[in-house]
Amino acid sequence: MSNMLQEINVSASGYLPKILLNNEENKFEIAGKSCPENVHKVFENVLEWIDKYSEKPNNKTIFEFKLDYYNTATSKILFIIMQKLEDIYNEGNDVLVKWYYPEDDDTIQESGEEYDDIIDIPFELIEYDA
């Protein structure tokens, strides 16, 4: 019996990122711009979802971050998400973070490198043409 979690699928709009969490299709993505006024309101259900998911994760979890802009409050949430992924990894599960950054964006590249340094899970930095 698979872990029936309600999919989270939010389209990007304005200052809100695209959020896709689907354990059935094994797709986990946060993309676009993220500078909501109330970051906790936007990400509260995401953090709860990951907590539930962590009880019975897929054999392999590939979590993709493809943000082209985000605020400080969002960066703290991203760190919490990665800590939760690290917990899943430390339980003996296969976890990979893919951090995409626009080729001309040193800030997002360096943020990815910082997360990679602090979080002890497999981490790929992937440049793309913006």
Q: Which residues contact 117 (CB under 8 A, 6 or more apart)?
A: none
Mean pLDDT, to the nearest integer, of 94-119? 96
Percent of the chain with pLDDT strictly greater than 70: 98
Confidence of residue 86 (pLDDT cuts 50, 70, 90): very high
Q: Which residues contact 34 (CB under 8 A, 6 or more apart)?
A: 15, 16, 17, 42, 67, 69, 70, 71, 74
Instruction: Bin 24: left if φ > 0, else alpha if -120 < ψ < 50, else beta.
Output: alpha
Confidence of residue 130 (pLDDT cuts 50, 70, 90): confident
Tell the residue number behind the tokens 């094994």, with chain if given: 26
Q: Where are the domains of the chain?
A: 8-128
pTM over 0.75: yes
8-128: which CATH architecture?
3-Layer(aba) Sandwich (3.40)
Average pLDDT score over the chain: 95
Task: Note the pLDDT of residue 1.
Answer: 37
Residue 80: is its pLDDT beyond 60?
yes
Using one digit for the tens of pLDDT, what is the confidence trace for 19-64?
Answer: 999 999 999 999 999 999 999 999 999 999 999 999 999 999 999 9
